[in-house]
């Protein structure tokens, strides 16, 4: 946006929407903020997680007093990556790996005790034969 009027700060209203070609609004947000001669504003509008795959329109309208300007762009929702499932899967894999390492250490420790016990028993048996 660019304030082409006097070098003064003015409050504008920005309306953003995600709309389907069926004219249904899936997300919307209205913000009011001040602009000067050269103002840049980055605006985010979250895409609903349950939004079906397909084509949609991102629509925005800026209003000041009774003057409005609007713009739109078409975008496509394709595959989604469910980061929650990926994170939970990684945690499960790490836990399984940790459990396997603990089991391996217990088996190794048990075998060492068995070998040590057998070794000590053989030494005792040798001592008794002497």
User: Is residue 41 situated within a structural domain?
Assistant: yes
Please answer whether residues 20 and 67 qualify as being in contact, where contact means their C-beta atoms are separated by less than 8 angstroms.
Answer: no
pLDDT of residue 20: 95
Phi and psi torsions of 114, nearest 5°: -65, -45
Which of 77, 96, 115 terminates a domain? The answer is 77
State both tokens at 97. Answer: 């790996």
Per DSSP, the three-state class of 105 is: helix
89 class by beta-carbon count within 10 Å (0-12 exposed, 13-18 middle, 19+ buried): exposed
Give pTM, 2 decimals: 0.55
Cα torsion angle, 51, 52, 53, 59, sign: negative
Mean pLDDT in order along the chain per 10 residues (130 residues): 62 92 94 78 83 92 88 87 82 86 84 76 70
Question: Do residues 52 and 19 share a domain?
Answer: yes
Find the domain containing 39 and state its range: 10-77
**Domains of the chain: total:** 2
Please answer whether residues 30 and 43 qualify as being in contact, where contact means their C-beta atoms are separated by less than 8 angstroms.
Answer: no
User: Is residue 4 situated within a structural domain?
Assistant: no
pLDDT of residue 44: 84
User: Is residue 5 situated within a structural domain?
Assistant: no
């Amino acid at each position: 946006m660019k304030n082409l009027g006097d070098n003064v700060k003015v409050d504008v209203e920005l309306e953003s929407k995600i709309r389907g070609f069926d004219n249904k609004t899936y997300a919307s947000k209205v913000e009011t903020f001040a602009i000067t001669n050269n103002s840049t504003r980055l605006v985010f509008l979250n895409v609903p997680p349950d939004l079906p795959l397909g084509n949609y329109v991102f629509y925005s309208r800026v209003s000041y007093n009774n003057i409005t300007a609007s713009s739109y762009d078409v975008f496509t929702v394709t595959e989604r990556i469910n980061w929650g499932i990926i994170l939970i899967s990684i945690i499960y894999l790490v836990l399984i790996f940790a459990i396997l390492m603990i089991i391996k250490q217990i088996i190794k420790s048990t075998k060492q005790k068995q070998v040590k016990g057998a070794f000590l028993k053989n030494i005792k048996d040798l001592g008794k034969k002497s």
